[in-house]
A and B are shown apart, each in its own frame.
Chain A
């Protein structure tokens, strides 16, 4: 009787422990005072309010994710200052060094999922955050900070296992050169354009008179999928592939563009993550505990049955202890969370196309083809020595309110 009661009690505990292996506290949105939320949203552009509405409930853990999504959407909506501020929020967090950080430490725990950590993104996502911040600076005519952003982005792309994929973001080198070009810094521009050309031969230095940079972004963001017995491995997965060739139309003139960056290639050439060793360790522990649980529960039940059959209380009691140990191992296995973090920035493109040309003063109208091959108007901004035109085949605003795998509602 006693034995049964104990087994029942421990079974309850096991169920409780198992529960912490599913949704964890950090994955649930915070409850925000409606007044505080309303104040936060009051000065935000209407088009972006639904995305901004996620910032407070998801807190610091998803701040980089939310602000980068908002940033691109704002850039597309023509809210350049808002886009700049959103990327500043994201980059300040990306640049902060997370050493002795409690949340990062908890993400290493066997019983806490990797996604407990504050999202900073994979190197390609971090580099793209710098890319967009740089574009916002270009649109504002702040070429020095644009150049600093593009240089900063290149530094983020230096964690690849294979050295040949380190700092190979050709588009960022080209844009660094373009920023210097717009400042009239010929030497610095030439050096950066040479670097871009070395990384991607299609990217040639622009003509000295060029003052308009056209950028077409096509396709959709690389996604992240899990693999492994316990979903402990994160693998990038290609989104909708971008177009291989495109051109811009300016009145009667057709301006061919060159493929300046393959974002998917950047996402897929990073190689192994160091954090994978921790996730593999968690998976190994979970596997070991599952084995121990199977042996303990099976053996314990067998001993209890034998004890009951032969009326041997000692054997039954010993069986109960073995069963309890098995149940605890089962609980530990269930509570172990080796799942890889799958959060990803979902309004990135698959690739980038650039073209440069010389335009006279005054307004210009440029179109590019969208995903249906229909012409779409590009947003051309001119402030300072150069102008920038930007367009997309897939809208950055056409994303769900909540980022993929960000929270469990």
Chain B
């Protein structure tokens, strides 16, 4: 036999009390300030080619990956650099790659990635001169010539390698801000050029540009 339990209807006083408690609870919850993320965030692997959780309007990791990949592909398709009878000797470093932008930057992060990518892909079609290691090389050459160490296996040369071409370039930015709403906008332009070190001609140029805009929360305006 089916038994049906009778459900008692709540009394009006109970509803009022419940509502009052709910209202007070809501108020209490509202005044709870968000505390620090005490437990933090565990280490996560990020793809350097994609935007991470922290971002601004300037050059970021994914831009460096993207721009160096693009410049490398472009240089690898430039006959004067990759199809010469004798592989040209090339210097790729930050010495003449100037940061004129409003962003603090370790420009070696750009030139190092470009050089490594080129060196790995060129497979002997270009020879890279490590001018930034010149001091280290000079030290070893002195030791060899003084007889402190032996001549090793590749033999001696009259001098360190000179460069046929060297990377030059410029990082520039045009920044603007709307004072009325705090919106910031930055146009970033990165120019890469390969300069003939005898004639001063530019044998290859590449440009990477992008613009970004963002706006802080109103509490920062």
Interface residues of A (CB under 8 A from B): 6, 10, 13, 16-17, 20-21, 24-27, 30, 59-61, 88, 91-92, 95-99, 101-114, 116-117, 120, 133, 137, 144-145, 147-149, 151-152, 154-155, 158-161, 163, 166, 188, 273-275, 278, 324, 328, 331-332, 335, 337
Contacts and interface: CB of A to CB of B under 8 A. Distances in A.
Max count, chain A CB within 10 A of own CB: residue among B27, B181, B182, B214: B27
Contacts of A92: 54
Contact of B31 (A96, A104, A111, A278): A111
A17 B24 contact: yes
B221 A275 contact: yes
Contacts of A152: 102-104
Contact of A148 (B30, B54, B102): B102
B31 A20 contact: yes
B154 interface: no
B55 A148 contact: no
B34 interface: yes
Given A25-B33, A112-B34, A335-B31, A105 B179 contact: no
Contacts of A149: 104
Contacts of B184: 97, 155
Interface string B22-36: 011001101111111
Interface in B69-99: 98-99
B56 A274 contact: no
B217 A99 contact: yes
Contacts of A107: 219
B63 interface: no
B20 interface: yes
B218 A108 contact: yes
Given A25-B35, A60-B37, A273-B221, 16 more contacts: A17-B24, A17-B31, A96-B54, A97-B55, A97-B184, A97-B216, A104-B216, A104-B220, A106-B33, A111-B31, A116-B33, A120-B220, A159-B182, A160-B179, A161-B179, A274-B182
Interface string B203-221: 0000000000011111111
A26 B220 contact: no
B105 interface: yes
A159 B179 contact: yes
A315 to B, nearest CB: 17
A102 B35 CA distance: 10
A188 B220 CA distance: 32
A112 B99 contact: no
B104 A26 contact: no
A104 B34 CA distance: 10
25 contacts: A10-B24, A13-B24, A17-B27, A24-B31, A91-B104, A96-B56, A98-B220, A99-B217, A104-B220, A111-B27, A111-B30, A112-B31, A112-B33, A144-B100, A144-B107, A147-B99, A155-B177, A158-B179, A161-B179, A274-B218, A275-B220, A328-B20, A328-B24, A331-B27, A332-B27
B30 A109 contact: yes
A99 B215 contact: yes
B216 A148 contact: no
Contact of B217 (A13, A98, A111, A147): A98
Interface in B87-144: 98-105, 107
Given A99-B215, A145-B105, A161-B179, A117 B33 contact: no
A163 B178 CA distance: 11
A112 B34 CA distance: 8
Nearest to B106: A145
Nearest to B186: A155
Contacts of B98: 144
B38 interface: yes
Interface in B179-205: 179, 181-182, 184
Contacts of B57: 97
Contacts of B107: 144
A33 to B, nearest CB: 11
Contacts of A17: 24, 27-28, 31
Contacts of B219: 98, 104, 107-108, 114, 117, 275, 278
Nearest to A120: B220
Nearest to A337: B31
A10 B27 contact: no
A369 to B, nearest CB: 33
A387 B104 CA distance: 21
Contact of B105 (A148, A159, A160, A188): A148
Contacts of A106: 33-34
A112 B181 CA distance: 23
Given A17-B24, A97-B214, A101-B217, A144 B99 contact: yes
Interface string B7-50: 00000000001001001100110111111111000000000000
Nearest to A59: B36
A274 B221 contact: yes
A104 B27 contact: no
Contacts of B168: none
A109 B34 CA distance: 11
B177 to A, nearest CB: 4
B24 A26 contact: no
